[in-house]
A and B are shown apart, each in its own frame.
Chain A
Amino acid sequence: MDVFLLSRLQFAFTIAFHYIFPPLSIGLGVLLVIMEARWLKTRDPLYLEMTKFWARIFGLIFALGVASGIVMEFQFGTNWSIYSRYVGDVFGSALAAEGIFAFFLESGFLAILLFGWNRVKPVTHFLATCMVALGAHFSAVWIIVANSWQQTPAGHHIVGFGTGLRAEIVDFWQVVFNPSSLHRLSHTLAGAWQAGAFLALSVAAYYLLRNKHIAFSKATLRIALPVAMIASLLQLLTGHASASGVARNQPAKLAAFEGHYPASAPADMYLFGWVNQEKERVQLGLRIPGMLSWMVHGDSKAPLTGLQAFPPDDRPPVNLVFQTYHLMVLLGMGLIGLSLLALLLQFRNRLSEQRWLLWIFVFAVLGPQAANQLGWASAEVGRQPWIVQNLLRTRDAFSPNVSGGELLFSLVMFFIVYALLLALFIYLLNDKIQHGPEERTSMEGHRA
């Protein structure tokens, strides 16, 4: 078996599964802070019940995030040993910082958030909730710094020779604030807030449709809707900043986003389309002439670097990048429209009458999930064939001493175990949602 292909497949599969959970923890973390702050301010038991309900769901999500996350921490070493040797000096530092500054904070204070209700004062509990949310955000900071360094390496120099080449830090702050880290961080965080807010909206809409827990659901809507709208609108700004950064720093990726082939010409934007990689053009597409040039340079006649400026070996798989990128943008626009419409109806106090809209919200929880996955896919696939842009190729970076058989074993195991975990996660999440916000002890049950 092809070790390179299997290594990529395993990384893609395990990271995609893992990435279901951290955005939810980050987004729910923000909501928990708001809910518990409301409880402290109003002392309305509704908000306490709400905080406890979402804390229980947070605990479930967090457990799966931890279980699938520990794999990621070690997979660079197990499957990408040459990459690890090459980047350890730079990339490893960000990962270690994530452990020290984020994971300890998050998992330490999670103990108080989940189990400390009767052990600490309400204010202390609230502070613990804030720390958990902060830890989740810090974790995003460091992992995005590490990943952005792969996209736009800075603050390093290359030493050694032959197979012993490696990147070493020259300026730590240039590594941290490399050209893409800030706008990629803001774009990712806004996506995570969307994921959390739309989960809360989905559950609240479901209860309203079922005519259950009405006060709880309306209060949840009041908190989650503004978060959903702000996060969705932020995606416009941060998405635009990210794409402009890609235009400056990774022109091949930007060209792949829109299937722009001419080496230097004004570039169009497509609402949708299909890239024919042999004929090097977009087919069956709806085109806005010069729009990409206008978005990047404010001038629809300005030439942009296209894929033909790069040798075929240095181009990403164009159609895959094009499709994932366009689907992400489409979903993003849909989520903006949805949250604006809902907020408008909310202001006129007519939201809970619009059953069709509530049904859309029940399923809209999948929107941010899909957009987050697609966005990451286009960011990572768009960087190919490089694992570190212009420095190290993906095909030169995997562990050569792991055999195809060993990889097949681990990959099949991941498929089986993760399929089981996903099924159990959905089953338990649904069970908690069906049960509703009232507390129950683990001793109670459906068994007579």
Chain B
Amino acid sequence: MNLAFDLNTIWFFLVGVLFAGYAMLDGFDLGVGALHLFTRGDENRRILLNAIAPIWDGNEVWLVTGGGALFAAFPEVYATAFSGFYVAFMLLLFGLIFRAVAIEFRSKQPMAWWRRFWDISFSLSSILSSLLIGVALGNMAWGVPLDAQGNFNGSFWSLIHPYSVLVGLCTVALFTMHGSIYLVLKTEGALQQQVREWSRSTIISFVLFYITVTMFTLLYVPHMTDTIRANPWLFLVALVNMLAIANIPREIFHGREMRAFLSSCAAVIALLLLFGIGTYPNLVYSNPQPANSLTIYNAASSRKTLQIMLIIALCGVPMVLAYTGSIYWIFRGKVKLDAHSY
């Protein structure tokens, strides 16, 4: 498929930016959640929690805004995907609800059972949320049965198949790796030593999943590679992705924590970019009847709306980036617990 640089493609890209921003930012705090139960001792767990405390709900806004932008720019996709994947999305919502309140509630009471309950909630809901996001991505790539009106006519169980589960697990591995590298950046002393060891195993497990998913995609989901084959220069993205991943262990070995984290961010972005290139110009690929697919053209809002939204994005996004950047800067450095911490 050839690339066209029109308004619809710009919006495909912008919605992609929001979801990639979500994966890059909430990805690491979901990963911290996945690792949470592996830490021993209340103080260590509080350090992990407070490493993400100031920024996690700002990170989640990327998902909420991504959902809103999808609604505005591609309402057909918003309607089809969310009603079609109903049970999966409800589980995701319950996961995100439990996660939000677990972070807020955990340290509000001193009882051991209270803290254990919210520790488990936080960790399981983080893993469940990552898994479901991955399963959804896997289904978008593999394709789902759509009728001529664009409605999904499968069931929840038809969304669970080897490929989607594999992508789901790969997403958990990706976020866990990303989270462990973030924690290397935010911790010190014995805890950092432990986190460093985690990062080694999470990198290895992610690379194994990554290779498996890539092989599986090349063999069984060939339409995901059509665009790259038509535009060989896009192979550069795959190359950047591999280099970014390979660079992570190197930076950690040299103790350059920030560069390791930035490499991990680049790897997440490049992966999402590859996913976007693979699905383009489809948003929901229809399998077995590709003619029913929802594309950036047949699922889009009017030209007028896309233009208005572009102006809104051009006003809003630079401001968001500026103050989000400043807030990350204000909370830079190692976690120190104080009276205001969770």
Could you list which residues of chain A lie within 8 angstroms of chain B, going by C-beta atoms?
Answer: 59-60, 62-64, 66-71, 73-74, 76-79, 81-82, 84-85, 87-93, 95-101, 103-105, 107-112, 114-120, 131, 159, 163, 166, 168-170, 172, 399-402, 406, 409-410, 413, 417, 421, 424, 428, 431, 439-447
**Contact of B189 with A by CB under 8 A:** no
Quick check: B301 and A446 within 8 Å, CB to CB?
no
Q: Which residues of B contact A66 (CB under 8 A)?
A: 57, 60, 100
Q: Which residues of A contact B78 (CB under 8 A)?
A: 76-77, 84, 88, 92
Quick check: A108 and B323 within 8 Å, CB to CB?
yes
Q: Which residues of B contact A60 (CB under 8 A)?
A: 104, 108
Interface string of B55-75 (1 = CB under 8 A from A): 101101101110111111111
Quick check: A169 and B304 within 8 Å, CB to CB?
yes
Distance of A201 Cα from B209 Cα, bound (Å): 56
In whole Å, how far is A201's beta carbon from the nearest beta carbon of chain B? Answer: 24
Q: Which residues of A contact B60 (CB under 8 A)?
A: 66, 70, 107
Q: Which residues of B contact A99 (CB under 8 A)?
A: 61, 64-65, 67-69
The listed residue (A101, A110, A159, A399) touching B57 by CB distance below 8 A is: A110
Task: List the 5 closest A-B pairs by CB distance, nearest first.
Answer: A88-B75, A445-B110, A77-B82, A99-B65, A92-B72
Quick check: A92 and B75 within 8 Å, CB to CB?
yes
Quick check: A446 and B110 within 8 Å, CB to CB?
yes
**Contact of B324 with A by CB under 8 A:** yes
Distance of A250 Cα from B104 Cα, bound (Å): 42
Quick check: B54 and A114 within 8 Å, CB to CB?
yes
Quick check: B71 and A76 within 8 Å, CB to CB?
yes
Quick check: A107 and B57 within 8 Å, CB to CB?
yes
In whole Å, how far is B155's beta carbon from the nearest beta carbon of chain A? Answer: 8
Interface centre among A69, A73, A120 (most CB of B within 10 A): A73
Quick check: B68 and A98 within 8 Å, CB to CB?
yes
With contacts A101-B316, A111-B327 taken as known, whether A428 is within 8 angstroms of B308 at the C-beta atoms is: no
Quick check: B301 and A442 within 8 Å, CB to CB?
no
Q: Which residues of A contact B330 (CB under 8 A)?
A: 111-112, 116, 119-120
Could you list which residues of chain B lie within 8 angstroms of chain A, going by C-beta atoms?
Answer: 46, 53-55, 57-58, 60-61, 63-65, 67-76, 78-84, 86-87, 89-90, 93-94, 96-98, 100-101, 103-105, 107-111, 149, 151-153, 156, 301-302, 304-305, 308-309, 312-313, 316-317, 320, 323-324, 327, 330-331, 337-342
Quick check: A96 and B312 within 8 Å, CB to CB?
yes
Q: Which residues of B contact A120 (CB under 8 A)?
A: 330
In whole Å, how far is A100's beta carbon from the nearest beta carbon of chain B? Answer: 4
Quick check: B79 and A81 within 8 Å, CB to CB?
yes
Interface centre among B74, B301, B339, B340 (most CB of A within 10 A): B340
Majority secondary structure of chain A interface residues (helix, strand, loop or mixed): helix
Quick check: A78 and B83 within 8 Å, CB to CB?
yes
With contacts A60-B104, A428-B108 taken as known, whether A417 is within 8 angstroms of B327 at the C-beta atoms is: no
Quick check: A105 and B341 within 8 Å, CB to CB?
no
Distance of A121 Cα from B6 Cα, bound (Å): 46
Quick check: B100 and A402 within 8 Å, CB to CB?
no
With contacts A74-B82, A88-B75 taken as known, whether A63 is within 8 angstroms of B151 at the C-beta atoms is: no
Quick check: A78 and B89 within 8 Å, CB to CB?
yes
In whole Å, how far is B147's beta carbon from the nearest beta carbon of chain A? Answer: 9
Quick check: A114 and B340 within 8 Å, CB to CB?
yes
Quick check: A67 and B323 within 8 Å, CB to CB?
no
Distance of A63 Cα from B93 Cα, bound (Å): 14
Distance of A74 Cα from B93 Cα, bound (Å): 9
> What are 29 residue pairs bridging A and B, where the CB atoms are less than 8 Å apart in the complex?
A63-B103, A67-B97, A70-B60, A70-B97, A73-B67, A78-B86, A84-B78, A88-B71, A88-B301, A92-B71, A100-B65, A100-B68, A100-B312, A100-B316, A100-B320, A103-B65, A104-B58, A104-B316, A104-B323, A108-B61, A109-B323, A110-B57, A111-B54, A112-B54, A112-B330, A401-B153, A409-B90, A442-B341, A445-B110
Q: Nearest A residue to B80 by beta-carbon distance?
A: A81
With contacts A66-B100, A84-B79 taken as known, whether A96 is within 8 angstroms of B111 at the C-beta atoms is: no
Distance of A353 Cα from B43 Cα, bound (Å): 46
Distance of A90 Cα from B308 Cα, bound (Å): 11
Q: Which residues of A contact B100 (CB under 8 A)?
A: 63, 66-67, 70
Distance of A116 Cα from B341 Cα, bound (Å): 10
Quick check: A96 and B86 within 8 Å, CB to CB?
no
With contacts A114-B54, A169-B304 taken as known, whether A79 is within 8 angstroms of B327 at the C-beta atoms is: no
